[in-house]
């Protein structure tokens, strides 16, 4: 009998005897070759708790791609008309910025291998509450994805927007209805091979489930910006849906570490903000009050921020290797 045939047969039998879970691709496989990860989004991303929590998972698993948070408060994926932007201008004395204004600069400056994108909250309060509004959001996201891939980004992961909790105010119900439409459209793009992570569905399930037990339950004080619990849901969905990570019931980023989780997370968050201030200052944008805007206090230079981030990383490593 042919030796190659015998070897192949024995190999097949060996593989069949291995439990299926043992053959799963490691959760870090999609990060192979990824040296830099960039997050784009609005104020929820700029706030950054889910970005920090994601970085904590990387640290806990000894993965070291550089993570840069480029979220910007008030920003939309869609270009708004003057009329659509008038309400925000009147209330806050500046119009909503559009990601299209800074997208090319951001991609050229940071050259990410992997790009996470989360928009919709501000589009949902600004665009028409009909199919035309959804179409404009879809066109904006499609353009963003195409531009990123054309610039050299290896993989773009689009995240559905978090929920808008109207807290019983019927006048605000339209907002989450828009976000639901955006979510449904994004999820259809999986069939076209797009990487899409669903935040909206799991957050809606958590919100509705929590409210059946406690009418005062909320994931967000203002109905828009999730607190730590909401951000942790976002982190978990990002890790499990995109990376296939097994979190073993961890209730927070701090729980990812066997010891000193709170101290480690604090340092990870500090590092994220140092890099955020530097990169936003380098790229520039039009949103007042954030480094990079005209008149705003700038962050460190990229070289200085990189040096500071490296020092913080050394502190993190020391905490992770210290005996409990």
On whether residue 160 sits in a domain, the answer given is yes
Q: What are the helix (H) ranges across the chain?
A: 3-17, 43-47, 49-60, 82-92, 103-110, 121-126, 131-151, 173-188, 200-213, 228-237, 243, 261-283, 302-321
How many residues does the structure list for the chain?
A: 324
Report pLDDT for 322. Answer: 84
Q: Give the pLDDT of the chain (324 residues) as one tens digit per residue.
A: 444 443 344 333 333 333 333 333 456 788 999 999 999 999 999 999 999 999 999 999 999 999 999 999 999 999 999 999 999 999 999 999 999 999 999 999 999 999 999 999 999 999 999 999 999 999 999 999 999 999 999 999 999 999 999 999 999 999 999 999 999 999 999 999 999 999 999 999 999 999 999 999 999 999 999 999 999 999 999 999 999 999 999 999 999 999 999 999 999 999 999 999 999 999 999 999 999 999 999 999 999 999 999 999 999 999 999 876
On whether residue 12 sits in a domain, the answer given is no
- What is the count of structural domains for the chain? 1
Which residues lie below 8 Å from residue 263, measured CB to CB, with a gap of 6+? 319
Tokens of 240: 């499990």
Residue 292's domain comprises 33-321
For residue 268, what is the domain's CATH number? 3.40.50.1110
Output the pTM of the full model: 0.91
Element (H, E) at 67: strand 66-69
On whether residue 1 sits in a domain, the answer given is no
Q: Tell me how far CA of residue 300 lies from CA of 5, 196, 288, in angstroms.
A: 63, 34, 18
On whether residue 197 sits in a domain, the answer given is yes
Q: How many CB atoms lie within 10 A of CB 101?
A: 16
On whether residue 156 sits in a domain, the answer given is yes
Residue 208's DSSP bridge partners are none
Start-to-end C-alpha separation, the chain: 58
Report pLDDT for 17. Answer: 39
Report pLDDT for 26. Answer: 55
């Amino acid at each position: 009998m042919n030796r190659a045939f015998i070897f192949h047969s024995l190999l097949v039998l060996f593989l069949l005897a291995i439990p299926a879970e043992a053959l799963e691709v490691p959760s870090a496989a999609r990060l192979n070759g990824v040296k830099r990860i960039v997050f784009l989004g609005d104020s929820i991303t700029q706030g950054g708790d889910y970005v920090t929590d994601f970085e904590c998972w990387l640290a806990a698993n000894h993965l070291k791609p550089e993570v840069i948070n480029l979220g910007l408060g008030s920003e939309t994926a869609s270009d708004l008309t003057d009329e659509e932007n008038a309400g925000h201008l009147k209330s806050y004395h500046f119009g909503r910025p559009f990601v299209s204004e800074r997208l090319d600069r951001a991609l050229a400056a940071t050259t990410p291998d992997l790009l996470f994108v989360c928009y919709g909250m501000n589009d949902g309060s600004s665009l028409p509450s009909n199919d035309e509004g959804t179409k404009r959001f879809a066109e904006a996201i499609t353009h963003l994805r195409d531009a990123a891939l054309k610039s050299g980004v290896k993989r773009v992961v689009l995240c559905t927007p978090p929920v808008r909790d109207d807290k019983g105010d019927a006048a605000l119900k339209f907002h989450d209805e828009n976000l639901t439409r955006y979510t449904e459209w994004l999820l259809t793009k999986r069939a076209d091979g797009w990487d899409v992570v669903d935040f909206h569905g799991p957050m809606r399930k958590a919100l509705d489930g929590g409210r059946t037990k406690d009418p005062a339950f909320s994931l967000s004080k203002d109905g828009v910006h999730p607190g730590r619990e909401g951000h942790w849901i976002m982190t978990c969905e990002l890790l499990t849906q995109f990376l296939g990570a097994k979190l073993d019931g961890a209730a927070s980023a701090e729980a990812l570490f066997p010891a000193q989780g709170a101290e480690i997370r604090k340092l990870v968050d500090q590092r994220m903000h140092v890099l955020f201030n530097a990169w936003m200052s380098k790229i520039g944008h039009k949103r007042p009050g954030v480094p990079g805007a005209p008149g705003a206090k700038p962050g460190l230079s990229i070289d200085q921020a990189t040096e500071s981030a490296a020092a913080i990383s050394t502190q993190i490593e020391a905490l992770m290797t210290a005996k409990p």
